[in-house]
Amino acid sequence: MRGNKAGWTVVMTAALMVVGASSYGENAFRARNRPSSGEIRARLREKIAEKKNRGESRQGDKGSIEVGGRTRTYLLHLPRGYNRHKTWPMVIVLHGGGASAENGERMTGMSEKADKEGFIAVYPDGTGQGSRRLTWNVGDCCGYAVEQGVDDVGFIRALIGKLKAERHVDPDRIYATGMSNGGMLTYRLACELSDEFAAVGVVSGSLNGECRPSRAVPIVIFHGTADQHVPYAGGYGSESPVQRLDKPVASAVSFWVANNRCRSTPKWTASGSIVQTDFTGCRNGADVSLYSIKGEGHTWPGGEEGRRHGNVDPPTKEISATEVLWDFFQSHPMR
């Protein structure tokens, strides 16, 4: 037993010596390779500079701007990989009447598309009594905004100026889109701020007022033939909370075809319930495209179901307005 005990003692002692030597060697190695305080400070400065250069705020940050004596708010989404080494396209997404910026983001899925394709997505808020049931002033509609004579066109122009200065926005690739009341404001922006927008897209909106754009504006339009809020054929919407006489979709298309000086004969493409009508040969390449969706109600095509997402009716899954919009925008920079 004594021999065994002595043997174990020798083994343990040797093991401890090896561990100790190893620890000493590791500590010595770490000491030799530990960065100096100067190197640590330099690396810290590099990290700070990198973060500053990216200009990143938390994705989905809420911002504000003073316009016409009002504090206007918006939701800003910077794409993954955003930095200040280049300029970025920007898409302004306008929510429907009675909704909000957050609702517009959920409804469209535009932030996910922005991350994938590399553009800035901005979701302005309309106005209302408090933070709910926000609307846009498009002249003959809607709610609080039109009752109070809110200058929404001025708000969007000021917002564009702010983001150009702060977020390295490409001035030749600024786009707007909107749903319902937001689609109506998109039309108005194309009419009154055509110098700012390279192209626009309208979902379930109507062009009711005067329109005098200073240039040809590429436009893509989506509308369901069974929309009872903003009727495809025009008239009063049987389910609209606002009694308003809307002009038909064909009227808006005819206006933009004439304004953009397109060929009068379009190309038709039908697939399932989707009928695509394209007018090309337009001045400065300002194409006009219409997606008529048979049997579709008041929805963002391809969007999430449910009123909390802004879709009153179940949206079709045959087409994604968000996907088509970005493809259209990509091919239409400012000219």
* pLDDT attached to residue 248: 98
pLDDT band at 59 (very low <50, low <70, confident <90, very high): low
Task: Report, as an integer, the average pLDDT of 69-91.
Answer: 96
Tens of pLDDT, residues 128-176: 987 778 999 999 899 999 999 999 999 999 999 999 999 999 999 999 9
Determine the Cα angle at 171 with ends 93 and 162, to 5°.
Answer: 65
Task: Report, as an integer, the average pLDDT of 226-249.
Answer: 88
Task: Report, as an integer, the average pLDDT of 85-95.
Answer: 97
Contact predicate 196/174, CB 8 Å: yes
Q: Which long-range contacts (CB under 8 A, 24 or more apart) does 2-10 make?
A: none
Helices (H), 193-288: 249-259
Candidates 159, 146, 239, 232; CA nearest to 196 is 159
Residue-averaged pLDDT of the chain: 86
Task: Say how far apart CA 234 and CA 245 lie, in whole Å.
Answer: 7
Task: Report, as an integer, the average pLDDT of 256-274.
Answer: 98
* pLDDT attached to residue 13: 37
* pLDDT attached to residue 43: 56
Candidates 331, 196, 324, 214; CA nearest to 269 is 324
* pLDDT attached to residue 314: 86
Most confident of 53-62, 97-106, 172-181: 172-181
CATH code for the domain defined by 60-330: 3.40.50.1820
Candidates 135, 148, 152, 90; CA nearest to 334 is 90
Percent of the chain with pLDDT over 70: 80
Task: Report, as an integer, the average pLDDT of 73-94.
Answer: 96
